[in-house]
Structure 1
């Protein structure tokens, strides 16, 4: 049996304490007063997937940073007003934003966006992706993607696919399917996912991409039929549903995502400290429960890799926006 000297035990304790304190050292360099809360702006509605993630990680993020976290929803115009507040915020880390893929879609569908989606934010971490599932009304006589493509090619322009609105991620997911397969479908934009799901079940539109969490129960109940998921890997929520790549569309891969950002120019030690704090918060029981409930896939994209991720996503989404012809003003 190995014995550890008292001196070595003390060193181990000291090293452990130093490691735990290391992330907090970054916050000491910030201009945020110790008693000042951190505003976490969510530029989407309360109850949305992004909002659910923000509220799930807020307690853990606050514990690590030593600041109370105030989650604030600032809605409208695809997230532009809320993100504008983050962009204009002091560069002291007191205001952060929990954003979605809309951030890289908006420059293509709005004539004027009052900030640069790459230059005017500091990406801290890309937290998770939001897998989508291609669903059809059960009355449509197709049971898999191959049958859907054959049906669409036999009846060009007769299939209607719905989305949550022009330029939404659900719209662009459909456009990518059109681009990759050459089928001809008519796009029907809705004002949000709720009305879309209602009309999918009612048969007013025959198919569409929807986030898995919003239709998993309907799929299991048989009121909607799932043909494929949009991501490269199958979803744990619907493990029997193949990916589109497995279903004969080999290059297809699309998902929405959620990221934590701050205004441009945040000090690097602060960014690194926040990235570590959000990583720890994502591992908390409340966050893991929320993530599982939303059907999300956790990512590990930190501040060093996040800018390149944003750049790649901007190029991809702008290409799809141009192809779709979507505009909102």
Structure 2
């Protein structure tokens, strides 16, 4: 009886393995339970917006019910680590950005390895960042702000969405390049950081172009520059920081989906094809443009090259700015 049981279990396991292998593509296309895009920051932030922009179409295209779930904490490390340990079945993805590499670059042990434990599967959109000051700050341009900050070393402060966030990194990089000394005040999210600058409890903040429209309507804030290489088609009247005296300066970010590294390439390709089809749709393109994003359609190889290049760039910026977990 024991021998029969062992033989039966062995055959059963082999059959299951064969079925899983043969039915990989079919299983992906079938609806089956809930699939999740994990946002490793608080709800309502810039990281969530591109995921929302494609959520409905992704469910339709893949035949799976995709939900967006926030798992904030530890500068994004909690949600990111959760995805790194998730089943590699294409049903749990991370909504990531270029700042994905920053925690490790700061020398921290984030409970995950940002390259080895993830597969970049689909980019949704690329964006730049807007530099804003409280309207009481007596400047109209980024050049004037740089000179004003230089006259008050260590006096002015800037808010961010948290230590190691893209908003922190972008502002620290700007300050380093401009050779100005400002005090960093970290918050739990972009909305809180901007609210306190708007209310006069902060002097400056850099925010993603995603969702920036609401801030442009606030008369207590003044927009003085954009971090892109060239002026934005959506915001053509905002000069680049390079135009304002920081020759060659730019800071941009991709927003895309990462899967656990062991996810089969067949599943990665299906997600990549689905997202590329979605962001190629005119309505979705306009939706992303309204968020301040363009939407290049990268295949797996192209996204992986950008992913690895950004690791080098973000590590370089962290090193040059001296950002630490206590910054």
Pair 1:300–1:245, CA change in 2 (3 A): farther
Once the two structures are TM-superposed, the CA of residue 328 in structure 1 deviates from its matched residue by 5.7
Structure 2: runs of 5 or more not aligned: 1-21
> Which aligned pairs between 1:44-123 and structure 2 lie closer than 5 A?
44-109=41-106, 111-123=108-120
Are 2:270 and 1:244 equivalent residues in the alignment?
no
Say which of 297, 318, 324 aligns to 2:322: 324
Structure-2 separation of matches of 1:221 and 1:46: 21
In the alignment, which residue of structure 2 is the partner of 1:36?
32
Moved more, 144-153 or 288-297: 288-297
Tell me how large the CA RMSD over aligned residues is. Answer: 2.7
Paired with 2:193 and 2:110, the residues of 1 have a C-alpha distance of 27
Q: Confirm or deny that 1:143 pairs with 2:165.
A: no
List per-residue Cα deviations over 1:284-322 (Å, max 9, x = no partner). Answer: 466445423422232333310222212222222223334
CA distance in 2, matches of 1:259, 1:152: 35
Paired with 2:223 and 2:326, the residues of 1 have a C-alpha distance of: 30
Structure 1 residue runs without a partner (length 5+):
1-25
Alignment match, 1:126: 123
Cα distance, 1:39 vs. partner? 2.8
User: Structure 1 residues 245 and 137 mapped into 2: Cα distance closer, same or farther (>3 Å)?
Assistant: same
Instruction: Determine if contact 1:176/1:252 at 8 Å carries over to the other structure.
Output: no
Are 1:30 and 1:92, in contact at CA under 8 Å, matched by a contact in 2?
Answer: no
Structure 1: distance between partners of 2:194 and 2:89: 42
Distance 2:301 2:192 in 1: 39
Post-superposition offset of 1:110: 6.6
Moved more, 298-307 or 167-176: 298-307
In the superposition, the TM-score normalised over structure 2's length comes to 0.82
Hey, what does 2:169 align to over in structure 1? 172
How many residues are aligned here?
304
- The answer as to whether partners of 1:162 and 1:196 remain within 8 angstroms in 2 is yes
Distance 1:229 1:310, change over 3 A: same
Contact 1:131 1:212 in 2 (8 A): yes
Q: Is the 8 A contact 1:53 1:290 kept in 2?
A: no
Give 3-state SS (helix, strand or coil) of 1:249's partner.
Answer: coil
Give the aligned partner of residue 300 of structure 1. 297
- CA apart distance, 1:220: 4.2
Cα distance in 2, alignment partners of residues 325 and 308 from structure 1: 25
Q: Distance in 1 between matches of 2:186 and 2:198?
A: 16
Q: TM-score, normalised by structure 1?
A: 0.82
Change over 3 Å in CA distance of 1:79–1:30 after alignment to 2:
farther
Q: Is the 8 A contact 1:59 1:281 kept in 2?
A: no
Matched residues in 1 for 2:23 and 2:290: separation? 31
Distance 1:91 1:202 in 2: 45
Matches within 5 A, 1:129-208: 129-208=126-205
Between 1:312-321 and 1:258-267, the stretch displaced more is: 312-321
Structure 1 pair 138/42, CA: closer, same or farther in 2 (3 Å)?
closer
Distance in structure 2 (CA, Å) of the matches to 1:74 and 1:286: 29
1:305 match: secondary structure: helix
- What is the match of residue 250 of structure 2? 253
